[in-house]
Amino acid sequence: KAGVTQTPRYLIKTRGQQVTLSCSPISGHRSVSWYQQTPGQGLQFLFEYFSETQRNKGNFPGRFSGRQFSNSRSEMNVSTLELGDSALYLCASSFSTENTGELFFGEGSRLTVL
Amino acid sequence: KNEVEQSPQNLTAQEGEFITINCSYSVGISALHWLQQHPGGGIVSLFMLSSGKKKHGRLIATINIQEKHSSLHITASHPRDSAVYICAVNGMDSNYQLIWGAGTKLIIKP
């Protein structure tokens, strides 16, 4: 069974640009959640999607958005990039239909903003 | 004060030692997760538990709901156990959103 796949793995952008990250969950998993990890802040929850609906949202500005498609693949978008957006962005999928469930993480997308 | 506190922040031990990492939380939870992150970023779920004790190989996780405390134990530690261990809880008051601890960086020396 393939694991959670995140693309791209690494990317470099400049301030003001926008970026789209993709996450393909494990087959059969309908919940996808996104996290930002920075050295100073640790892991911070961005949002969680279940069956194409945003079920939970973290405390991030509106520049951060996401969506989920009918095949459960999810994308997150960050517009008007700032230097502080440089981070490792992780997604996780879960089989559980409840809000709790074992999480399976991708390897992450490492974004550098110059 | 953070809702999920881990201790110690850093831990260095010799190969073979028995390791304990602690996690205390201050919110009502439906489940607690222990995860492992190796250098490079990948995170692996080790345990999800809501009561009692779970064991997988050399790893044991326990939780005391009344005391709002969980421990992760590693028996016969090995250098390959070196990683960051993270505790996270599904908070009932936050729509079960995961609340993360800051992590414990473990180094096992040969």
- What's the pLDDT tens digit per position in A29-87? 999 999 999 887 778 889 999 989 998 888 899 999 999 999 999 999 999 999 999 99
User: Does B42 sit within 8 Å of A103, measured CB to CB?
Assistant: no
Cα(A11)–Cα(A110) distance, rounded to whole angstroms?
A: 6
Is residue B76 over pLDDT 70? yes
Under DSSP, the state recorded for A83 is G
Tokens of A113: 């903003």
Q: Find the CB nearest B41 among A33, A100, A108.
A: A108
Reported as a pLDDT band with limits 50, 70 and 90, residue B40 is confident
**A–B: how many Cβ contacts below 8 A?**
55
Is residue A99 over pLDDT 70? no
User: Does A42 sit within 8 Å of B45, measured CB to CB?
Assistant: no
In the predicted model, what is the mean pLDDT of residues A16-34?
Answer: 95
Work out the minimum CA distance from B16 to partner chain A, whole angstroms: 29
The single-letter code of the amino acid at A18 is: Q
Task: Give the range among A44-58, A94-108, B30-44 with minimum mean pLDDT.
Answer: A94-108
Cα(B109)–Cα(B9) distance, rounded to whole angstroms?
A: 17
